[in-house]
């Protein structure tokens, strides 16, 4: 089984249904019955199928810009990382996340970020960060600060992660 890259605008209706079904099984979140993303549609995806063609694993990657004391940062935001419950323990997550990381490095992205548990993502080198994140509330027309206890970062370069406030341009991922 080889991870398959998918540019999200090319996702077919059939694959859309498969991804949503997998996300529903993994996350038990009703929103996935209607959409293949949590807050924002990722541009890049990697999937893994078994020999019979069944979708086993998925990771979405956002190409994001963040504002910081160091200026604007280009980061990869990993999201909707999941493995079918019956296929867990076979290294599928490691393969997909590894493939996504290789792609990010090749694109010159300095950091990968995600919102997840350090017990899971620490093995990939992610480190929890305690930055305050500032998001733009479109409805209110103002920036709002929010703490995210599970915000984690993986550096791809020698550049250090900035301290202080981080502005997230666009919605959460």
pTM across the whole model: 0.91
CA distance 152 to 128: 4
Q: Residue 20: which of 40, 37, 36, 4 has the closest Cα? A: 36
Q: Reply yes or no on whether the pLDDT at 137 is more than 80.
A: no
Domain ranges for the chain, please list them.
4-168
Percent of the chain with pLDDT over 90: 76
What is the tens place of the pLDDT at every residue in 14-39? 999 999 999 999 998 899 999 999 98
CA distances from 115 to 1, 81, 147, 160, 170 (A): 27, 10, 11, 19, 16
CA distance 158 to 17: 40
User: What stretches of the chain show up as alpha helix (H) in DSSP?
Assistant: 13-27, 92-106, 118-121
CA distance 27 to 131: 26
Show the tokens assigned to 1. 């089984």
Percent of the chain with pLDDT over 70: 100
Q: pLDDT band for position 147 (50/70/90)?
A: confident
CA distance 107 to 12: 25
Looking at domain 4-168, what is its CATH homologous superfamily? Answer: Gcn5-related N-acetyltransferase (GNAT) (3.40.630.30)
CA distance 173 to 168: 10
State residue 122's pLDDT score. Answer: 94
CA distance 19 to 66: 28
φ/ψ (deg, to 5) at 7: -80, 120
Q: In the chain, where do the E strands start and end?
A: 4-7, 44-49, 55-68, 71-83, 111-115, 127-128, 133-137, 142-146, 151-155, 166-168
What is the average per-residue pLDDT within 126-137? Answer: 88
């Amino acid at each position: 089984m080889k991870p398959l890259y998918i540019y999200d605008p090319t996702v077919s209706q059939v694959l859309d249904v498969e991804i949503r079904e997998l996300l529903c099984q993994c996350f038990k979140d009703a929103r996935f019955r209607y959409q293949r993303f949590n807050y924002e549609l990722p541009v890049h995806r990697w999937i893994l199928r078994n020999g019979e063609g069944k979708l086993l694993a998925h990771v979405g990657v956002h190409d994001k810009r963040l504002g910081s004391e160091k200026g604007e940062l280009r980061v990869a935001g990993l999201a909707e990382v999941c493995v079918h419950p019956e296929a867990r323990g076979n290294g599928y997550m490691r393969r997909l996340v590894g493939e996504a990381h290789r792609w990010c490095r090749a694109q010159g992205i300095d950091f990968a970020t995600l919102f997840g548990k350090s017990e899971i993502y620490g093995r990939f080198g992610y480190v929890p960060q305690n930055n305050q994140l500032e998001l733009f509330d479109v409805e209110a027309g103002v920036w709002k600060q929010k703490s995210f206890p599970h915000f984690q970062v993986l550096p791809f370069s020698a550049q250090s992660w900035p301290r202080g406030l981080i502005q997230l341009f666009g919605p959460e991922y």
